[in-house]
């Protein structure tokens, strides 16, 4: 019994003396709790941006739009040109286009019923259904408040817009799954890289060699890239065989996304590895950062579940571009032109992350 307690006491003391490990152990539950509170602790835990075209222009329709805006469930972006709105829908900057036709108010008042048109992005069934149901419910309730004797006089005609085939849940989840290795496998592979060398003492050998810091980081990157590639290949093959999703496996377009996405994940891991003093500290840091990032990137659940400010944060996280690009290629048949901006963003962020890595390596490792 004494030995059991002795081992436990030693481990606890060691834990408390590794300040980085203590920090990340405390930071992990706090960050997860804050994230869940921010996301699901709201009255309406969903917010999507949709385009709105009001061809009616009467007080009633303006009133409806104003009330729709107040729900907090949708962020409305006004368009006058339908084609422009559909272009943005196709580019996924908005999730639906709601069109209130001419004479909407008149039809409603005179004939007791009117149509509105909703074109939704069908690439994410969750989002599509939430928007569709949300708008139907809103207009039903809206008119009931005006005239309680009528039920459902406003008919929402929904059209699902998907470039490619209409997708189901498995088509939706597979691109998200393929983002997983970019974030986790790559980061895990590189997080321990320098910490391991430091722990083993072999870092001294590498540092004594006539090589610049960037060579060290790039060497580690190649090895981590190899490990990440194994994860991606296994996951792709198994997903294709077991789930059989109807997706566009455009390998020439997916390869640069996987490559640049992995590079970003690896660079992040290397940064953690430069800062981390102990393997457990590095591992805790990678887990916390990885889990937090997956919320922002829309890997598993739509970013529309995030509060607006968190969606905006997600837009500056490079991995979000990788996640969205994989989804766009596999579901929306995106072309190389569509990928130019996200790929450039990923490349620039990789260069920045490696720059930070070199600085940290010199500051923390070579000091």
- Interface residues with another protein (CB under 8 A) are 200-202, 204-212, 367
| Lookup: tokens for 179 | 């983002």
The residue (of 201 and 252) whose beta carbon lies closer to another protein is 201
Minimum distance, C-beta of residue 262 to another protein, in the bound complex (Å): 23
Beta bridge partners of 114: 154
Minimum distance, C-beta of residue 224 to another protein, in the bound complex (Å): 17
Minimum distance, C-beta of residue 284 to another protein, in the bound complex (Å): 25
3-state secondary structure of 18: coil
Q: Alpha-carbon distance 216 to 195, whole Å?
A: 13
Q: Are 190 and 224 in contact (CB under 8 A)?
A: yes
- In the numeric block, the tokens 């048949």 are attached to 333
The residue (of 218 and 291) whose beta carbon lies closer to another protein is 218
Minimum distance, C-beta of residue 200 to another protein, in the bound complex (Å): 8
Minimum distance, C-beta of residue 214 to another protein, in the bound complex (Å): 12
The residue (of 197 and 304) whose beta carbon lies closer to another protein is 197
The residue (of 10 and 205) whose beta carbon lies closer to another protein is 205
Query: What's the first-to-final CA gap in the chain, in angstroms?
Result: 43
Minimum distance, C-beta of residue 225 to another protein, in the bound complex (Å): 18
Q: Alpha-carbon distance 165 to 258, whole Å?
A: 23
* CA dist 315 → 92, 216, 298 (Å): 13, 31, 10
Sequence-distant (6+) residues with CB within 8 A of 199 are 278, 279
**Following DSSP, what letter does each residue of 298-341 receive, concatenated?**
TSSS-GGGS-HHHHHHHHT-HHHHHHHHHHHHHHH---HHHHHH
Beta bridge partners of 54: 100
Minimum distance, C-beta of residue 208 to another protein, in the bound complex (Å): 4
| Lookup: tokens for 156 | 């929402």
The residue (of 211 and 255) whose beta carbon lies closer to another protein is 211
Minimum distance, C-beta of residue 366 to another protein, in the bound complex (Å): 8
The residue (of 350 and 365) whose beta carbon lies closer to another protein is 365
Minimum distance, C-beta of residue 93 to another protein, in the bound complex (Å): 47
φ, ψ of residue 94 to 5 degrees: the values are: -125, 160
The residue (of 11 and 366) whose beta carbon lies closer to another protein is 366
Sequence-distant (6+) residues with CB within 8 A of 333 are 163, 164, 248, 250
The residue (of 198 and 327) whose beta carbon lies closer to another protein is 198
Q: Alpha-carbon distance 158 to 116, whole Å?
A: 9
Minimum distance, C-beta of residue 193 to another protein, in the bound complex (Å): 13
The residue (of 209 and 242) whose beta carbon lies closer to another protein is 209
Q: What region does 333 belong to: left with phi over 0, alpha with psi -120 to 50, or beta?
A: left
* CA dist 299 → 72, 99, 321, 327, 339 (Å): 23, 30, 11, 9, 18
Angle between the N-to-C axes of helices 213-238 and 251-275, in degrees from 0 to 180, rounded to the nearest 10: 130
Q: Alpha-carbon distance 119 to 135, whole Å?
A: 12
The residue (of 141 and 366) whose beta carbon lies closer to another protein is 366
């Amino acid at each position: 019994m004494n030995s059991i307690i002795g081992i436990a006491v030693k481990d606890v003391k060691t834990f408390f003396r590794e300040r980085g490990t203590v920090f990340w152990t405390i930071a992990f539950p706090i960050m997860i709790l804050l994230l869940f509170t921010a996301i699901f602790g709201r009255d309406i835990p969903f917010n999507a941006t949709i385009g709105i075209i009001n061809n009616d222009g009467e007080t009633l329709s303006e009133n409806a739009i104003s009330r729709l805006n107040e729900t907090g469930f949708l962020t409305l972006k006004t368009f006058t040109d339908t084609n422009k709105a559909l272009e943005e829908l196709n580019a996924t900057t908005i999730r639906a286009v709601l069109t209130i036709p001419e004479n909407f108010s008149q039809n409603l008042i005179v004939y007791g019923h009117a149509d509105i048109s909703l074109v939704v992005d069908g690439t994410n069934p969750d989002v599509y259904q939430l928007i569709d149901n949300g708008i139907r419910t809103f207009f039903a309730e809206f008119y009931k408040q005006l005239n309680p004797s009528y039920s459902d006089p406003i008919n929402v005609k929904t059209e699902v817009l998907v470039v490619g085939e209409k997708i189901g849940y498995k088509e939706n989840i597979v691109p998200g799954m393929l983002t997983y290795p970019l974030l986790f496998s790559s980061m895990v592979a590189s997080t321990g890289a320098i910490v391991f060398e430091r722990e083993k003492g072999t870092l001294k050998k590498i540092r004594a060699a006539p090589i610049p810091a960037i060579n060290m980081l790039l060497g580690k990157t190649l090895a981590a890239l190899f490990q990440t590639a194994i994860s991606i290949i296994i996951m792709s093959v198994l997903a294709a065989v077991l789930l059989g999703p109807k997706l566009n496996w455009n390998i020439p377009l997916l390869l640069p996304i996987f490559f640049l996405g992995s590079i970003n994940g690896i660079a992040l891991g290397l940064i953690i590895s430069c800062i981390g003093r102990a393997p457990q500290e590095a591992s805790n840091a990678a887990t916390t950062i990885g889990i937090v990032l997956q919320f922002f990137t829309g890997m598993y659940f739509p970013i529309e579940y995030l509060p607006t400010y968190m969606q905006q944060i997600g837009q500056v996280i490079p991995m979000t571009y990788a996640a969205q690009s994989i989804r766009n290629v596999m579901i929306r048949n995106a072309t190389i032109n569509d990928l130019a901006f996200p790929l450039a963003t990923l490349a620039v962020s990789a260069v920045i992350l490696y720059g930070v890595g070199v600085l940290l390596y010199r500051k923390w490792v070579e000091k």
